[in-house]
Chain A
Amino acid sequence: MSLQLVFDALSLGGIYAIAALGIALIFGVMNLVNFAHGQFIACSVFALILPSADAVATMGLGALPAPLLIAAILAFGAGLAVAAEALVFRPLRNASPVALMVASFALGILLQNILLVAYGGRPKAVSLWPQLGSPVQVLSAQVPLLQLLVIGAVALILAGLALMLKRARVGLEMRAAAEDFDMARMLGVRANGVISGAFALSGALAAVVALVLVTQTGVADVRMGGQIMLVAFIATVVGGMGSLAGAVAAGLALGAASALLQAFLPVEARPFRDAFLYGLVILVLLFRPQGLFASVGAKPRV
């Protein structure tokens, strides 16, 4: 039971962590709370299938062999995010954070309605890698292969990203920009490069969430991504705005809290699970307004 619970918490928390990272990256470099991130996820899901209002979905990019498919979807997510930056957010570079946020929300509505027109409102089934749908035994727990894979993929991505942020020049610049963007520019760090890079990375992370979601649920729905985006957004703040590691940790923590509440709340209280979760978030903020994982000396920004 307990080991199983660890797997449950990890697989849900892992998805939240990756989504939170996608939001924190962009917030760090341009103070933008990107409400279109959920639609980046949804668009990446729908890129797997061909645009059509038919009830049965025909595979588009989803028909490619796995390695090509993964590369193509990541590139799609990254490209979408970079295009959004160039067309919408770059002209707004000097706008207030509120204006930026509202613009991102408008972009989200735009993308969602384009999906609705192109694909119709009915959820579609996407059979991605059906062979993953079998359970395996891990110590005392019987775990779906899928769940293991999600946890493995999340761990791999986080490790790869950490390495990239730590070792690569662009990673260093992004971390510096997330802390103090203007200072980084005064040291010659190119704003457009870092911002485009952050959007590309964020879009690719949205595509990762999309792939994980599709393999987990097997469906594509216009509204998917929204709920994950909200949790990820909250995780970004609870983790300490601008702290990438904090966003990941808070994403994992929220996923774990959600799984634990589901497991231990009495049956009548379970539908109220999210109310408990958000109540916890408010409590955390009241006691640590700068976020759970922000360094003590960090000054509040905004």
Chain B
Amino acid sequence: MKPAICVLALLALSAPAQAKDITIGFAIAKSGWMEAYDTPAATAAKIRIDEINAAGGLLGRKIAVVEADTRTDRAGAAKAGLDLLDQGAQMMIVSCDYDFGAPAALVAEGEAMISFFLCAEDVKAGIQGVGPLSFSSSVLAPVQGATMAEWAHARREARAAYVLEDTFIEYNKGICTGFEWMFPQLEGAAIVGRDSFKNDDASIAAQITRIKSLGDEPDVIMLCSVMPGAAAAVRQIRAAGIDSLILNGSAVDGSYWLDATPGLSDFVLPVQGSIHGDDPRAEVEAFNRAYEAKTGARPASQYAYPGYVLIDLWAKAVERAGTVEGAAVTAELEKMSDEPTAFGPRSFSSELHHQNTALMQIVEISDGKPARIDEWRISQPVPLDVLMGK
């Protein structure tokens, strides 16, 4: 990458003044545990950037990339954001997670510059938590929870649900919020119990005992958790002989963790696109191949996709606005309503820079094999009050 930047910089110097590059700054984790989540989405974003550059650039200019390492550290993220300003970034792409992305996004906000979270799914990663120029291109966590509620009710006759929440991060709470909003609204459906655990609990035996002490096994268990706690919980739930359908959010997408519970069945999650080669949309599989060509491996989870989508949407807004200036591009982004992308339509408004409803692919794991089985869009968008946890 570095030589490429140097070459671009040299080109910029030798080229006429009006052909100055558009510079995108990536304040992402290149070390520490967040690196595993940021790198795939950043790679996807660069795939779209390469495509745009190959097609002649944006506003007639090439897009250049500068990067700074947050080191999976909040203070490091703020510093990375400021470093990118020094390097001339005109738009800021920040870490996947709200906590680690917000410090850099706030820096961009302070400079009236657009910031995009790579894949944050917390409503605060936008207007509500950063400011009016901040966006995320992923699908809100409560939408994922609500999608699971409605789908399981419609397609699997789920009536009695048990909610098991991991208190580790805000994302988990968002999944449960969406589920608990949607499920009781559905006909004949009720939440029969609720419990919490910590992601790094060595054992969740006490929580499982509580589930087993219900008279009847619940139809579904809404597990709101992320790795590694989610895999550990699933393994322990199945080991205790509980065979209920388990639902989770997109965070557990990917087959890399399935060895933790060999032969796992009746496990369902919503995704933005399938990495398993069975997505009905040709564009999705085309992207998977492009990703493999660039990195040598297919995406490990759906979290590469939002990176591609965000550059796509931002570039369209820039073309329409005719400038990269923050307020003008924001205005164009906010006009987008069901704007088509390779991974389904996307909308933004002046109230919400997130997806409060989305067409999601349903993936089910049967006998240890994940496969796309269905698609679902919730019947009503998740209201802002629910998103804000009120």
Contacts and interface: CB of A to CB of B under 8 A. Distances in A.
Given A125-B256, A133-B235, 8 more contacts: A8-B208, A16-B202, A54-B297, A127-B260, A145-B239, A216-B202, A217-B236, A218-B260
Given A121-B32, A121-B36, A223-B33, A134 B241 contact: yes
A7 B205 contact: yes
Given A130-B262, A274-B198, A11 B205 contact: yes
Contact of A133 (B29, B210, B228, B238): B238
A250 interface: no
Given A133-B239, A223-B33, A125 B198 contact: no
Contacts of A132: 239
A300 interface: no
Contacts of A1: 209, 213
Contacts of B297: 54
Given A134-B239, A219-B231, A125 B257 contact: yes
B292 interface: no
Interface in A116-149: 116, 120-127, 130, 132-135, 142-147
A133 B259 CA distance: 12
A165 B322 CA distance: 78
Contact of A135 (B213, B241, B256, B261): B241
A94 interface: no
A65 B325 CA distance: 62
Contacts of A226: 200
Given A8-B203, A11-B205, A217-B235, A123 B228 contact: yes
A226 B72 CA distance: 18
A144 B260 contact: no
B343 to A, nearest CB: 20
A162 interface: no
A8 B201 CA distance: 13
Contact of A146 (B29, B31, B239, B254): B239
Interface of A: 1, 4-5, 7-9, 11-12, 15-16, 53-57, 116, 120-127, 130, 132-135, 142-147, 213, 216-224, 226-228, 258-260, 262-263, 267, 270-271, 274
A217 B32 contact: no
A219 B209 contact: no
Contacts of A221: 227-228
B196 interface: yes
A221 B54 CA distance: 40
A222 B259 contact: no
B263 interface: yes
Given A1-B213, A116-B31, A116-B33, A123 B231 contact: yes
Contacts of A9: 206
Contacts of A228: 202
A216 B231 CA distance: 10
A218 B36 contact: no
Interface in B112-154: none
B388 interface: no
Contacts of A133: 235, 238-239, 261-262
Nearest to A137: B241
A213 B259 contact: no
A224 B227 CA distance: 12
Main secondary structure of the interface of B (DSSP, over half): loop
Contacts of B31: 116
B79 interface: no
B36 A217 contact: no
29 contacts: A4-B213, A8-B208, A12-B206, A56-B255, A116-B32, A120-B36, A121-B33, A121-B34, A122-B33, A123-B227, A123-B231, A124-B257, A127-B260, A127-B262, A133-B238, A134-B241, A142-B241, A143-B240, A147-B203, A147-B205, A216-B202, A216-B235, A217-B228, A217-B236, A220-B228, A221-B227, A227-B201, A228-B202, A274-B198
A194 B362 CA distance: 58
B232 A219 contact: yes
A53 B296 CA distance: 13
B156 interface: no
Interface of B: 29, 31-37, 72, 167, 194-198, 200-203, 205-210, 212-213, 227-228, 231-232, 235-236, 238-241, 254-263, 297, 300-301
Contacts of A53: 36
B233 to A, nearest CB: 8
Given A142-B240, A270-B196, A227 B202 contact: yes
Given A121-B32, A263-B210, A135 B203 contact: no
B100 to A, nearest CB: 12
Contacts of B238: 133
Contacts of A55: 254, 256, 300-301
Nearest to B238: A133
Contacts of A145: 239
B202 A144 contact: no
A5 B209 contact: yes
Given A12-B205, A222-B33, A226-B200, A122 B239 contact: no
Contact of A218 (B29, B34, B194, B261): B261
A16 B202 CA distance: 9
Contacts of B232: 216-219
A222 B262 CA distance: 22
A154 to B, nearest CB: 12
B360 to A, nearest CB: 22
B183 to A, nearest CB: 17
B84 to A, nearest CB: 22
Nearest to A1: B213
Contacts of B72: 121
B262 A263 contact: no
A270 B33 CA distance: 28
Nearest to A222: B33
Given A4-B212, A144-B236, A217-B235, A122 B256 contact: yes
A125 B255 CA distance: 9
Contacts of A216: 202-203, 232, 235-236
Contacts of B194: 267
